[in-house]
Structure 1
C-alpha cells in the first residue's frame, strides 16, 4: 500500500499556541450525582442503562467497577474481571475495560454489557506487545482496532481483534515521555522527593478514526495519522516524521473527543474544562475548583459530558453547547 505524498510529507509544525480564551458559549453543570458518604472516588465514568452510571473506583492500587443509580445507591458492577483498569467507551458506544497482570499472564481487553455487567467478549493481549515493566494507561477503540498507551515502558500499541495481532510502536519516543511537572490545583506534585513527571496516559481518536491524539498528562498533545500505525509497510522513520506536536496543555486528568471533532480536556492544574476544536481554537468552557479533583471524562448518550470528581465524591453532568 502506498501513502499519498501529503501523508508522507513531514507535517507542518503546530502554530504558536494561543492562550486559552473564555468561550462565548460557556459550559454549565446541569446535574450532580453524589456517591454515598465514605465511597471511594471514581477514576473514570461511563453511562450505563436506565440512567445508571458506571465507574472505575480506585483506592490506592485497588480498583473495582461500580454502578450508581438515580437514587444515589452504589452497587458492584462485577463482570468477574480481576483488577479491572482503564474504563472507556469506544467509537461505536461499546464499553471497554482492561485487566492487567504480569506480562503474558492476565493482561486482557474486555468488551462489557452495560445492562448486565457481563463480559461480552475478551481478547488476551499477546505477550510480544508488552515489556516486563509495561503498564497500560489508556485505551481508544475504533471498529476492530484498539489503540493502547503503555506508560511503564512508553510506547503505543495497536491491536486488531480480528486476528488477535498487533504492533508496538514509537517505544521511548520523546513525544511519549513526561518532561514536565504534574500540577494539581496549583500545587506541584512530588514523589520520593522528586517532581512527579508521568509518561503517556491519554488517547483520543477522531470520529472517523483517521487521527490518533496522545499525550502525557502534562502535555504536550500530539497527533498522528492512524494509517501510519496500522499499515505494516510504514516504517519507524515515517512514523516519527508523521507525529506532530498539536497543542501545549496544562496538567490534564483526561480528554475526550466529541462527534464534531472537538477535544474536551480536564485541566486539573487550574480546575477548568477546556476545548480544542478541529480548527485549533483553544477555549476554556467552565471553571470550578472541584475540577482540580476530576478523573477522566466521557460522553453521555445525550452528548453531555460526565466527569467524576473527588469532592463528594460525585459525578458532574456538564452541558457543552457548540462542541
Structure 2
C-alpha cells in the first residue's frame, strides 16, 4: 500500500533558502519524520511520528519517492478505539528505530500505559520483510517508563534500551531475559528541563510546568567497549559494556551499576544522537538548533548550526561519509511537543563512515 506522495529530492523541489555551508536538503516530506535508517543495499526506512494530525507509522522510502507502510499495513493499523486491534501485533507508539548489526530493522514500540503487550522491541527481517523477532517488555518496565531507543552490543547478542523515566533496560536477545538498571542513578536523571530555541520546554502539568526527560540517547563505541548515554537535558556519561552486560546475571552489579558511570562530555539539551566508525558521537542541540560533534576523548564542538535543524532526532551515518539529519520539527504547542511542517531531511559531510556494530 502506497501512502502519500513523498515530496521528493532536492533536484525536484525548488529551493530559495540558503542553508549553512555543507548542509544539503535531500528530502522534503509531507509528514513529520523522526528518524531514518539506511540498509547496506541502500533501502531507506523512516519513522514518522509527533504529527498533530496523523498516528505514528513506519514507512519505506521507495525509488520513485513515494512511501509504503513497513513492514506492512497491518503492523501500522493500531486503533485504540477498536477492540479487535491487537497491540501485540501492531505498532502502538513508534519511538526508536534502527538497523542493527544483525541486519534487522529494529523498532522500539513505547506502547501505551495499561495496554498489555504494547511495549516491545520488534525485529523485521529485511530479506523476507516480515517480523521475525518480538521482545515484550511489560514485565521489566516501570509504571512511568517511556521505552524509547535501542542500541546493540558488539556481539549483537545484547540490546540496550533507553527508558525516559530515567533508567536503562538491558536485554538478552537470545533468552529474552531483561533487567532495568540505573533507575536510582544521578547519571540517568534529568536535573534540569529541556531547552528549545532559547526557552525552557513547557511540560504537561499546567501553565507553569516544564519538561524534564530522563535517560534517552544511547550509543555504543565502535569497539563495543563503552556505552554512552544521557538524559534529554544533556550531560553525557559513559560506562563499560562489560559492567552493563554483567547485570543480566549479577544482581549486585545491577544494583550498583551507576557507581561505574563516568561523566564524559557536557552536552546540550538533545533530541537525538548517532555515532560514526571513528567513535565520534553526534548530538543534536534543541536549544541552538545545531549538531555537536563529541570526540572519543569527550571534546565537544559545534559541527553545524542552522535554524532549519529544528529538533533533529534519530540521525544516521552512511557509507559515503554523510550524516543524515531528520529535522523532526517538534516544537512546544497546545498539544505538547508535536510537529507541524515543513519536514526536512538534510545531509552533512563528515570524515568517517558508520560504526561496524551500530549499522547493518
TM-score by length of 1: 0.82
Conserved? CA contact 1:184–1:292, under 8 Å = no
Q: How does 1:60-79 map to 2 (within 5 A)?
A: 60=52, 62-79=55-72
1:286 CA drift (Å): 1.1
Residue 345 of structure 2 corresponds to: 315
Tell me which of 128, 151, 158 is aligned to 2:164: 151
Residue 293 of structure 2 corresponds to: 275
Give the aligned length. Answer: 293
Does structure 1 residue 183 correspond to structure 2 residue 177? no
1:301 CA drift (Å): 3.9
Tell me the alpha carbon deviations over residues 151-183 of structure 1, each in whole angstroms, 9 at most, x when there is no partner.
Answer: 23x211110011111222121322111111211
Residue 305 of structure 1 corresponds to: 323
1:218 CA drift (Å): 1.2
Deviates more, 1:26-35 or 1:296-305: 26-35
What residue ranges of structure 2 are gaps of 5+ in the alignment?
1-19, 76-89, 330-340, 354-360
Residue 212 of structure 2 corresponds to: 197
Residue 184 of structure 2 corresponds to: 172
Distance 1:72 1:318, change over 3 A: same
1:291 partner SS: coil
Residue 10 of structure 2 corresponds to: none
1:275 CA drift (Å): 0.6
Residue 89 of structure 1 corresponds to: 99
Q: How does 1:1-323 map to 2 (within 5 A)?
A: 28-35=22-29, 39-48=30-39, 51-58=42-49, 59-60=51-52, 62-79=55-72, 80=75, 81-83=90-92, 84-99=94-109, 100-101=111-112, 102=114, 105-114=117-126, 117-125=129-137, 127-142=138-153, 143-152=156-165, 154-191=166-203, 192=206, 193-231=208-246, 232-233=249-250, 235-236=253-254, 238-309=256-327, 310=329, 312-321=342-351
Distance 1:313 1:275, change over 3 A: same
1:146 CA drift (Å): 0.5
Cα distance in 1, alignment partners of residues 258 and 66 from structure 2: 48
1:200 CA drift (Å): 1.2
Distance 1:117 1:299, change over 3 A: farther
Distance 1:237 1:206, change over 3 A: same
What residue ranges of structure 1 are gaps of 5+ in the alignment?
1-25
1:27 CA drift (Å): 7.7
Conserved? CA contact 2:193–2:233, under 8 Å = yes
1:204 partner SS: strand
1:73 CA drift (Å): 2.1
TM-score by length of 2: 0.74
Cα distance in 1, alignment partners of residues 346 and 324 from structure 2: 6
Residue 5 of structure 1 corresponds to: none
Tell me the alpha carbon deviations over residues 97-155 of structure 1, each in whole angstroms, 9 at most, x when there is no partner.
Answer: 02224475232211223466422322223x43112222202211220100111123x21
